[in-house]
Amino acid sequence: MAETELPQIYLITPPEIELSQFPDQLASVLDASDIACVRLALATRDEDRLSRAADALREVAHARDVAIVIDEHVLLSERLGLDGVHLTDAARSVAKTRKELGKDAIVGAFCGASSHEGMTAGENGADYVSFGPVGTTPLGDGTLAEKDLFEWWSQMIEVPVVAEGALDTDIIRTLAPYTDFFGIGEEIWRAENPAAKLKEFEAAFTA
């Protein structure tokens, strides 16, 4: 049996960041671990705040050859020189976004726990599909993206898949054989030492 490749880390920013501190924090995590992509996922809709955050974090990511995408804001993604966009409305706007941003941009789609939405997003040109939450969280309607979904996806579908939402080391161990990426965010930023917390999670990839 061929050795399966280990999942990669897809790093998600906290919903609120302090611009005087967070870029340094991000830099230390990017320097400590191998990160495939960073997602700017701020809660604010304020264009000025988003733009300033994107400028600061793009500099940190691109200096380390790490791609950076933004949640939802297709126009800002292009204007701010980011690498693409993460869509949160499942497959609905994938085709339109792909057309707008062109073939080189990263277009990802969050599809909850729906394999149907995931397949449609892939057919419409998504570079990756993300399922979640994978752990129990008071957010959302309580529907979880279960191990079966990832297992089925890894056997049947070629589009890369991200597991995200309320991760812990047990869930990581369970899903590691079936997912291409772990979308890790609040789980490490809440820790005293985010880089060390991420290492803890990484250790579970192979466990």
The pLDDT tens digits for 185-206 are 999 999 999 999 999 999 999 8
Please list, in sequence order, all residues whose beta carbon lies within 8 angstroms of the beta carbon of residue 50, skipping any fewer than 6 positions away. 40, 42, 44, 70, 73, 76
pLDDT at 4 over 70: no
The pLDDT tens digits for 21-40 are 999 999 999 999 999 999 99
- Best CA proximity match to 50, nearest among 80, 29, 25, 21: 80
Q: Name the residue ranges covered by the structural domains of the chain.
A: 8-87+133-151+162-205
Helix (H, G, I), strand (E, B) or coil at 97: helix
- Average pLDDT (153-169) is 97
- Best CA proximity match to 171, nearest among 128, 127, 129, 137: 137
Chain Cα centroid distance, residue 60: 17
- Best CA proximity match to 130, nearest among 33, 15, 41, 21: 41
The pLDDT tens digits for 46-76 are 999 999 999 999 999 999 999 999 999 999 9
In CATH terms, the fold of domain 8-87+133-151+162-205 is TIM Barrel (3.20.20)
Q: What is the DSSP letter of 149?
A: H
> In this structure, what token pair is assigned to residue 149?
């979904």
List 84's β-bridge partners, or say none. 69, 106
> In this structure, what token pair is assigned to residue 96?
């339109």
By the 8 A CB rule, do 90 and 117 touch?
yes
Band (140; pLDDT cuts 50, 70, 90): confident
pLDDT at 1 over 70: no
Amino acid at 186: E
